[in-house]
Amino acid sequence: MSIVTDQEWEEYKKTYEKVYENTQEDKMRRELYSRSKAKIEDHNKKYMNGEVTWKMAINHLADLKEEEYASRCGKRAPPK
């Protein structure tokens, strides 16, 4: 897991105008951000080694839950 400094986290929230309901949500979103950052770093190592042809970067989606990301990208939830 990638280490996310307090400063980095605050800059991310400021850059993308992120506001969370409470400290519990803030902590959960920071964890999601950390996982995204680790995934991006792993992918970009592959890029540097010529294993993939494109790079990844942090963006406004880095703090989303899997289902939130899928929903924003057009995936529909199965009917209940």
pLDDT tens digit string along 20-51?
A: 999 999 999 999 999 999 999 999 999 999 99
Amino acid at 73: C
Give me 79's structure tokens: 């009917």
Shortest CA distance to 63 belongs to which of 27, 41, 32? 32
b (16+ CB within 10 A) / e for 58-71: eeeebbbeeeeeee
Domains and CATH numbers, the chain: 6-72 (1.10.287.2250)
- Say whether 76 sits in a helix, a strand or coil: coil
pTM for the full predicted model: 0.87
Q: pLDDT category, 71, cuts 50, 70, 90?
A: confident
Amino acid at 49: N
Q: pLDDT category, 77, cuts 50, 70, 90?
A: low
